[in-house]
Amino acid sequence: MSETDPSDPSAAPSRPVVRLRPKAEARAIRHGFPWVYADELVTDRRTQALTPGTIATLEDADRRAMATVTVNPKSKIIARVMDRDPGAAIDRDWIAARLAHALELRARLFEAPFYRLIHAEADGLPGVIIDRFGDTAVIQPNAAWSEAMIEDLTAALVAVTGVTTVVKNGSGRARGLEGLPEETVVLQGVVAGPIAVPMNGAIYMADVLGGQKTGLFFDQRPNHAFAARLARGARVLDVFSHVGGFALAALAGGAEAALAVDASAPALELAAEGAAAMGAAERFATRQGDAFATLEALAAEGERFDLVVCDPPAFAPNRQALEAGLRAYERIARLAAPLVAPGGYLVLCSCSHAADLVQFRAASTRGIGRGGRRAQLIHTGYAGPDHPMLPQLAESGYLKSLFFRLD
């Protein structure tokens, strides 16, 4: 492609220019906010004709260059800030520098290479998620630019980290919002089967090709560890367990027994494999079914547990779903609270960025009260440090975990 071809995602310095509307909040961009919404940008025919993922120079309404951005006319987030330098060249070397910066933090935090390596905007690669499983890395290219530059992204990832296998997980709601197709494919190397992931003394089995998201949720690592401290000698119920989540961490922490509940039979099979791999199969059981129905059934059976954890998917993935999502969180708390033995613990989690901490905590405490229990809030947990938060972007701090002790 020529230097002036607007469809070349790395074209610089001769590249398209996009401009903020006069009433757009240019100050927010200058102060680090990474997104430009469609109603904030001048969307003339030239801008609308840009190929999704095009790299452009962003100007304010007075035609002063502000930043290097990637543009997707098909998305409500029409521009994402790539670099605050308006003349930055977005190429393989630029990607490698961002990866190396992210890797330096993770290498300080973790002894073994199992972590989230790239957490999108917070790590300077907008819309990109990369989880590392030893010598295997899974990329979620959820922004058009990363799909267009997937070869450069893969090559830089291999060069910086030394991983030998790279998987592209092109699924999920975020790609749909960008107008991108769903596709999961091995870009480099071979995936022989589920990968054993050591974490908090437990062993999790990650299906990096067919599992949810990238195959494992690293974000709950510190909350798993805190729950494990409460689980010594306890009977544990882990609802929405996925591949073992809190249940396996609790077993590693000395739980007497753990029951994992999930709607997915394959996920529970992986959880059982993890329990067996860590020598805890005899203390581990699974129950497949709808979480709400299973909570009701356990109550009817007279079951009680010393530690109950509910870690559901996002009930409020956007503002339109907020009201219904908060009702769902309240219902979960109402159904779970009666299952906790006196003096036991209830852990309620939310990964909905649309529901902030205050709203989620209020819904949870209402549900506990409606479940006939009185609670102490003893701890509030968030995502681990391999999921850094961009302070200007509330969406990057999505995870909340509330730890209650029930009378």
Q: How far apart are CA 56 and CA 69, in angstroms?
A: 5
Q: How many CA atoms lie within 13 A of 368 on its CB side?
A: 24
351 is catalytic: yes
Q: What tokens were used for 343?
A: 């003096």
Q: What tokens were used for 399?
A: 């995870």
Q: What tokens were used for 186?
A: 């091995």
* 3-state per-residue secondary structure call for 159-195: HHHCCCEEEEEECCHHHHHCCCCCEEEEEECCCCCCE
Q: Residues 310, 351, 375, 402: which is the catalytic one?
A: 351
Active site (catalytic) residues: 351
